[in-house]
Amino acid sequence: MTRPAAMLGALLAALTAGACAELGVVGDGTTVSWGPPNEGVLIDGTRLPREGEGFVVHPRWAARGTQFGTDELVDVIAHVGRVVAETHPGSRLAVGDLSIAGGGRSPHHRSHQTGRDVDFVLFARDASGKPVDSTEMRHFGASGKTVDAGEPLWFDAERQWTMVRALVEAPGPGVANIFLYAPLRDLVLDEARASGAPDAVIDLAGSLLAQPGDSAPHDDHMHVRLFCAADDTGCSDYTARMPPKKPRKTAVEEAMAAEIARRPRIGSMLHFGTRW
């Protein structure tokens, strides 16, 4: 059976060949997240710049070509970057993988297929307590100290909490999951309580922060996933869990065409702030 990414390519080729005029398939330029995070595609994805206010994509991830996401995800990254820069002058989010162009499977992830997933490098401090501009994903132990080779670093729960709070308070469809190693989650929530943040915000963050049970512990990065946007009707908030050795469902070409056709012919995304 044809994979979703191949079907998407065939669909887009048909549209650019002139079928769009006959079918009325003229989108408004906004993104479409289609299918579940681990078995879907991204239509008209927005490319995150290499850097902006409060965020940067370091060369290792920039070289992968994995900076494509939904409008909503790119807006959230821009929003959180601004909050981090305002709260901790000189600090920047180090952004890892989003999705590849067109979404679908990549060599690096089982998920990250629909433009709603993004990885962030964890904030760290050196032995003197000075904030470090992290350019690599270092592994942290339960104490918050790195356990891999290289200069010893310590998990920076203060900046990480600033980021988490900005995520859960960001406008948009909302955060569905924040995957993080359980002991680091505890350090973030301890910092949240010490900071005097409202109980409702801490409770929401605590409900979203979790160590995944079916993948790596996420002791070297934070994985964030957004809920589907309300107008992405072909999007699924939940991962596809197919029985082993059974064919996996794929996106349907006609349904994707209908999804694009449903979009208004003229208009633009109303973002909650200037991106860059």
What would the pLDDT profile of 135-151 be if each residue is shown by its tens digit? Answer: 999 999 999 999 999 99
Judge contact between 177 and 225, C-beta under 8 A: yes
Structural domain includes residue 271: no
Residue 22 pLDDT greater than 60, yes or no: no
CB of 87 within 8 A of CB of 81?
Answer: no
The DSSP-derived string for 62-100 is: HTTT--EE-HHHHHHHHHHHHHHHHHSTT--EEB---B-
268 or 196, higher pLDDT: 196
Please check whether residue 233 lies inside any domain of the structure: yes
Tokens encoding 216:
């790596």
Rounded to the nearest integer, the mean pLDDT of the chain is 84
**What are the φ/ψ torsions at residue 13 (nearest 5 degrees)?**
-65, -40
Of 208, 263, 232, 275, give the one whose Cα is nearest residue 40: 232
What single DSSP character describes residue 226? E
Is 276 part of a structural domain of the chain? no
User: What DSSP state is assigned to residue 59?
Assistant: H
Full-model pTM? 0.81
Q: Residue 180 — pLDDT band, cuts 50, 70, 90? A: very high
CA 1, chain centre distance (Å): 28
Q: Is position 264 within any domain?
A: no
Cα separation, 115 vs 98, whole angstroms:
6
The least confident of 97-101, 201-205, 211-215 is 211-215
In the numeric block, which tokens belong to residue 194?
């010490």
**pLDDT score recorded for residue 15:** 39
Counted domains in the chain: 1
- Residue 276: predicted pLDDT: 54
Reference 3, options 255, 256, 250; nearest CA is: 250
Report pLDDT for 216: 79
Q: Give domain status of residue 221, yes or no.
A: yes
In the sheet that 131-132 helps form, which strands lie side by side, from edge to edge? 131-132, 124-125, 154-155
Per-residue confidence band for 238, with pLDDT thresholds at 50, 70 and 90 = confident
Indicate the DSSP class of residue 111. Answer: S
From 136, 132, 145, 133, select the one nearest 181 (Cα to Cα): 145
CB 33 within 8 A of CB 115: yes
| Residues 116, 112: Cα–Cα separation, whole Å | 7
b/e for 190-225, b at 16 or more Cβ within 10 A? Answer: ebbeeeebeeeebebbbebbebeeeeebbbbbbbbb
Tell me if 231 is assigned to some domain. Answer: yes
| CATH number of the domain that residue 158 is part of | 3.30.1380.10
Range of the domain at 193: 4-243+252-257
Average pLDDT for residues 33-45, to the nearest whole number? Answer: 93
Whether 10 has a pLDDT exceeding 70, the answer reads: no
pLDDT band for 222, please (50, 70, 90 cuts): very high
- The answer as to whether 270 is a domain residue is no
Q: Tell whether 186 is covered by a domain.
A: yes
Going from the C-alpha of 69 to that of each of 59, 125, 158, 224, the distances in angstroms are 18, 30, 27, 12
Asked if 162 and 83 count as a contact pair (C-beta separation under 8 A), the reply is yes
